Amino acid sequence: MRRDGVRCVVLLLCMGAVCAFAWAQKVERVSYRGWQDSYRLSNGTVEVIVVPSIARIMHYGFAGEPNTLWVNPATEGKPVKPGEWLNHGGDKAWVWPQDEWPQRIGRGWPPPSATDQVPHQVEIVNGNVVRLSSPLVAGYGVRVVREVRLEPSGTRVHILTRLEKLRDGADFPVAAWVVAQLPVPDLLLVRLYPGSTLSEGYKLFSLDAWKAVRRLAPDILLPERRSEVAVKLGCDAEVLAWFKSPYLVVHRSPISDLADFRPGDHAQIFSNSDALPYIELEFTSPLKVLRKGESVSLEVTWELHRVPPGKQSPEGLAVFLRDVGE
């Protein structure tokens, strides 16, 4: 009897693990804010919504709680329009460096059309990964492939972005570039990578400077945005964080070798003016000259924390950042 009881307990535990795993694998097609072709990944703790028709991730948050990504209310439910860039918000992928767009595609703005102005093909891989694939990106000979995977428990989302070379030619270095738009936060934080050659810890990509960029510690920066103008900085960092009480969103992209990047290119933060208030957390992969059949990849992991009131100071939030990736 005792042995049978043990077997029953083991069986029940196994059944519970199977059920939990099945829940973690949950990917379902949904309608999201008027976009009918959306896909929701959920594990009972957080949910992520991917919208292939606008080539973006549009939602990330605790189940049943607010979205931590910014969605432009003026474009909700609207389709993409090739050649007419609509700022839907969310998270998308472009091709870096941006300052080479004029010579590659004949214009400095909007981005290459195939990256985020046309629907992307969607495929569900292994039951728990949403894969998006772009058409050929003109001027580059590549396509953008993104794989979005939610861990079985907790809040971590893994996003792998690849530029895959489909055609010969265009023999110049390129990098994958991801851009996540979020609402204006209470605080922005950066965890710097050791060995940076940037004396102030960052460089400016914009003509205008930030209101302030102070060091909380040798490895932690606190950029303070300006409301009247758009500003952008770049830094050698693996971790960027956004805090709007009580939520802390952490984006992490590991660095294997800092020499693979131009100083300040890997991690970037953009803050738009209050005319359309949002910020962007951005990462780029190493620059690489691709031959047909080759690719360059960028791995980014998202985490979401609900921070207790007593730990919402910059010093308290820095503790979270030091534990990321451990």
Please answer whether residues 234 and 202 qualify as being in contact, where contact means their C-beta atoms are separated by less than 8 angstroms: yes
- pLDDT of 81 reads 78
- Domain 2-323 architecture: Distorted Sandwich (2.70)
Using one digit for the tens of pLDDT, what is the confidence trace for 60-81? 999 999 999 999 999 999 998 7
Sign of CA dihedral 97, 101, 103, 108: negative
For residue 45, what are its two tokens? Answer: 């703790």
Report whether pLDDT(196) > 50.
yes
Angstrom distance (rounded) from CA 142 to CA 128:
26
Using one digit for the tens of pLDDT, what is the confidence trace for 113-167? 999 999 999 999 999 999 999 999 999 999 999 999 999 999 999 999 999 999 9
Using one digit for the tens of pLDDT, what is the confidence trace for 42-56? 999 999 999 999 999
Report whether pLDDT(8) > 80.
no
Using one digit for the tens of pLDDT, what is the confidence trace for 254-311? 999 999 999 999 999 999 999 999 999 999 999 999 999 999 999 999 999 999 999 9
- pLDDT of 84 reads 82
Among 104, 282, 93, which Cα is nearest to 190's? 282
For residue 212, give Cα distances in angstroms to 93, 173, 225, 233: 28, 33, 7, 11
- pLDDT of 10 reads 39
Please answer whether residues 204 and 302 qualify as being in contact, where contact means their C-beta atoms are separated by less than 8 angstroms: no
The single-letter code of the amino acid at 39 is Y
Angstrom distance (rounded) from CA 276 to CA 194:
35
Q: Report the mean per-residue pLDDT for the chain.
A: 92
Using one digit for the tens of pLDDT, what is the confidence trace for 199-215? 999 999 999 999 999 99
- Which alpha helices (DSSP H) does the chain contain, by range? 2-24, 101-105, 113-116, 314-323
Residue ranges of domains in the chain: 2-323
User: Which residues, in sequence order, are bridge partners of residue 178?
Assistant: 93, 283
Among 174, 173, 180, which Cα is nearest to 157's? 180
Length of the chain counted residue by residue: 326
Percent of the chain with pLDDT over 90: 87
- pLDDT of 26 reads 85
Q: How far apart are the first and last CA of the chain?
A: 44
- Residue where the block lists tokens 């979401």: 304
